[in-house]
Amino acid sequence: MLGAMIRSIVILTGAGISAESGVPTFRASDGLWENHRIEDVATPQAFRRNPTLVQTFYDQRRAFLGQVEPNAAHHALARLEAEWSGDFLLVTQNVDDLHDRAGHNHLVHMHGELNAALCTRCRAARPWRGPLIGNPPCPACGQSGTLRPDIVWFGEMPYHMDRIETALAAADLFVSIGTSGAVYPAAGFVELARHAGAHTLELNLEPSAGTPMFHEARHGPASVLVPAWVEEMLAAD
Ligand code: NAD
Ligand code: ZN
């Protein structure tokens, strides 16, 4: 498809784009996230049942961000945003900060961020770098013991859905990168984009649950596929 026909791009990324930076994906073959069952660390019920386990889990994930760097795929998407003449929105399911560090102005974290804390008392969400274990006070209301990771857990409503759906309705091109197509509502974005008349492209290591929904699919590592695709887009822009 010619870039000249495309003005508005919406990109969805998942854990696969960060895999080559050394961040483990979610549903690696064992179905576990860093050796934990998802229902033990990624639901509100898990947090109520064992807050120490859940806080420690996300404290470790947050601390680990200091040991990883954006890879060629993150950098290529930042270049595309900077050089693309039309509309651009990057929607990530990732809670890591690798897209942020690659440099974006049009990025939304639909599942929240490791580097933010949410107060269950006053609902303020604030940047957060250190641990949450030990009951630090909320920077907004001063209460101790009310902060949780600002992560959207299973059963909770993803962030920025209005902005995402508006962008999908106007998209000429929807690209899904490094996501298994198993977690809704993100897995349904391809259908929304198709319905709006967008061309749809999957870039993933292997065929995913969503592959049949896309007009076009390319399979291989993100660090190779994404820079090559960005070159094509900018050459045709
Ligand atoms: P997922 O783990 O379910 O799927 C990852 C997909 O990436 C798979 O289809 C896999 O084949 C593909 N993949 C693996 N390595 C790749 C590579 N080098 N290049 C291209 N593709 C590759 O991830 P998901 O679909 O994002 O859904 C999981 C949920 O887990 C998300 O909601 C997210 O919030 C959370 N999560 C986030 C991170 C992170 O922030 N980096 C890590 C793990 C889980
Ligand atoms: Zn508060």
Q: Which of the listed residues 26, 95, 175 should we mutate to test ligand 1's pocket, taking the one with most ligand atoms within 8 A of CB?
A: 26
Q: Among 191, 196, 229, 198, which residue's Cα sits nearest to residue 212?
A: 191
3-state secondary structure of 164: helix
Contacts of residue 63, Cβ cutoff 8 Å, sequence gap at least 6: 131
Q: How far is CA 24 from CA 66, 99, 153, 191, in A?
A: 15, 16, 18, 27
C-alpha–C-alpha distance, residues 120 and 143, integer Å: 10
The predicted structure's pLDDT at residue 5: 86
C-alpha–C-alpha distance, residues 58 and 162, integer Å: 27
Residue 218 backbone zone (phi > 0: left; psi -120 to 50: alpha; other: beta): beta
Tens-binned pLDDT, residue by residue, of the chain (237 aa):
555 589 999 999 999 999 999 998 876 656 677 788 888 999 999 999 999 999 999 999 999 999 999 999 999 999 999 999 999 999 999 999 999 999 999 999 999 999 999 999 999 999 999 999 999 999 999 999 999 999 999 999 999 999 999 999 999 999 999 999 888 999 999 999 999 999 999 999 999 999 999 999 999 999 999 999 999 999 998
The predicted structure's pLDDT at residue 28: 60
The predicted structure's pLDDT at residue 39: 85
- Taken in order 29, 183, 94, 52, the sign of the CA dihedral is negative
C-alpha–C-alpha distance, residues 11 and 226, integer Å: 11
Query: Which H/E stretch holds residue 52?
Result: helix 51-64
Q: Which residues line ligand 1 (CB under 6 A)?
A: 14-16, 18-20, 23, 25-27, 33, 93-96, 111, 178-180, 182-183, 204-206, 208, 221-222
Q: Among 112, 115, 7, which residue's Cα sits nearest to residue 61?
A: 115
Q: What are phi and psi of 87, to 5 degrees?
A: -75, 150
Per-residue burial over 32-62, b if 16 or more Cβ lie within 10 Å, else e, is ebeeeeeebbbbeebbeeeeeebbebbbebb
